[in-house]
Structure 1
């Protein structure tokens, strides 16, 4: 059955890239509402439903744009989306008082705690998930690739690999069958990461202004600069998996199938979703309803 939160919750922090204070509110929503975003600092604009076509190209974060007001964007949504995906929250109103969600701990542990505090409400209406019917593939630069394939009904299996020149990262792999428990134990504490030599260039572009050792894993060649070191030997691959779980939930519905990726990122993950939904022969709704996504408005 479809779910929402039992109680509203909120949190406060700073945006990873803009470095500005941000307050996030998560409010229960009715069945078939989907996941909706609303900018409280733009009261003249309505909320909009998150769907693949709402995602605009951004290499360092997942950024959603309102279909009715294209200059209205909400950035760095991937960690929250991953947590909602794993916790099976189908309907929610996400309110933010600025252009970027707070980065909080740089992973998903705080979002997990928020959802634990809010509780789950069963709405008594059957959930519609998206079933993958035939393989779809996309490729990017430097050997990047991502695929969605048919899989076991009702489950999402993920497998990915990364390959970075920094010896502290190198080549890593991660596999997961997505569930609330597996996400909590395997991915939720894995932090976003950055190469120390890239920080100055990013900040010169107005990015990573809110980053610190408190919310990011900083790599310097063969060293991890964070005092506590790595939380998992393959923490970077696990965080890429966390991002992917969030990016895939920008479909607006849970996926039933298998994801495979190598050196994938936000833009390629979104292109994969758009390719999936480009033909009704690629997918179907689990309840047999027509293979047409709802309007984002």
Structure 2
């Protein structure tokens, strides 16, 4: 399998979740071994993607510096992960990605509209060699060796519409499009009201998130999946793992995971070279991985 970029530049305009401003997003192809590079066009500043570039994980994954950052990149990165994109220039006018409908499906369609082009270099995978785990009380996120690309996530919210949900997801692009891509982010009305009083979540609405009051889902159309909440958590986790710049070969498991735990997990993973190795698909000798991105 070869490295991937997009075939043609393409762009879309949407609303930023926190500032509520109109945001123009343009994606452009890059050569092999370029990686994923974000670019703030109005600042003339590039931000190469890496765990070291992450500066905030409280409400979203944010990369850059306080003087020039880009927020809420996880849904977009999840779509890149699913499509196996290794090299891309992501041009933004503004400091956050457009939220679109709160899921990753719009970004998937953007990538598919641009087309995918293979490059004449082997695709590198980040293969997990030994277990790595981070914890916060009973919450944890873990990576461990596996001969598949697996995500196993459990959430437990004391809310009648959520409760305890667990999903095991065996990754392929086809499965992702069917089971994960359309799962939306969610928030509680009481929290949104407070955030908006602090000039945050100004772009949040029932058109780009699942809203909940104390008892029920507020969206008139209801849920897209009965367990949409845990499916979105897997969507987020895939995006946060893509901050490494690579597709991972291994098993990700989490209980009540978060952007913060995911970030700490990638840092701990890469801190010791014995935890992983960068391999080409030919070294894996498994037809499963070829099918994953078909």
Question: Considering the TM-score relative to the shorter chain, is it more than 0.5?
Answer: yes
1:91 and 2:87 aligned: yes
Q: Is the 8 A contact 1:166 1:220 kept in 2?
A: no
Which ranges of 4 or more aligned residues in structure 1 deviate by more than 4 Å? none
Q: Is the 8 A contact 2:159 2:215 kept in 1?
A: yes
Deviation at 1:122, TM superposition (A): 0.6
Structure 2 counterpart of 1:129, from 120, 125, 129:
125
Counterpart of 2:18 in structure 1 is 17
**Equivalent runs, 1:120-199 vs 2, <5 Å:** 120-141=116-137, 143-152=138-147, 155-199=148-192
Counterpart of 2:245 in structure 1 is 252
Between structures 1 and 2, the one with greater helix share = 2
Is 246-255 or 215-224 further displaced after alignment? 215-224
Deviation at 1:30, TM superposition (A): 0.4
Q: Is the 8 A contact 2:104 2:182 kept in 1?
A: yes
Deviation at 1:48, TM superposition (A): 2.8
Deviation at 1:33, TM superposition (A): 0.3
Secondary structure of residue in 2 paired with 1:146: strand
CA distance in 2, matches of 1:275, 1:262: 18
1:111 and 2:107 aligned: yes
Post-superposition Cα deviations, 1:61-85, rounded to whole Å, max 9, x if no partner, equal: 110115xxx5211100011000000
**Equivalent runs, 1:202-221 vs 2, <5 Å:** 202-221=195-214
CA distance in 2, matches of 1:159, 1:287: 25
Secondary structure of residue in 1 paired with 2:24: strand
Counterpart of 2:9 in structure 1 is 8
Q: Is the 8 A contact 1:168 1:221 kept in 2?
A: no
1:52 and 2:48 aligned: no
Provide structure 2 residue ranges, at least 5 long, that are not aligned to the other structure. 282-294
Provide structure 1 residue ranges, at least 5 long, that are not aligned to the other structure. 289-297
Q: CA RMSD in A?
A: 1.3
Deviation at 1:287, TM superposition (A): 4.3
Deviation at 1:58, TM superposition (A): 2.2
Deviation at 1:125, TM superposition (A): 0.6
Secondary structure of residue in 1 paired with 2:200: coil
Deviation at 1:24, TM superposition (A): 0.3
Counterpart of 2:37 in structure 1 is 36
Post-superposition Cα deviations, 1:79-122, rounded to whole Å, max 9, x if no partner, equal: 10000000111100000001001101110111111111111101
Post-superposition Cα deviations, 1:200-241, rounded to whole Å, max 9, x if no partner, equal: 111122221100010000012231110110111100000011
The alignment's TM-score, normalised by the length of structure 2, stands at 0.93
CA distance in 1, matches of 2:213, 2:164: 16
Q: Is the 8 A contact 2:34 2:88 kept in 1?
A: yes
Counterpart of 2:291 in structure 1 is none
Q: Is the 8 A contact 2:17 2:201 kept in 1?
A: yes
Q: Is the 8 A contact 1:132 1:255 kept in 2?
A: yes
Counterpart of 1:64 in structure 2 is 63
Number of aligned residues: 280
Secondary structure of residue in 2 paired with 1:61: coil
CA distance in 2, matches of 1:60, 1:108: 17
Q: Is the 8 A contact 2:56 2:63 kept in 1?
A: no
Deviation at 1:158, TM superposition (A): 0.4
1:235 and 2:235 aligned: no
Counterpart of 2:265 in structure 1 is 272
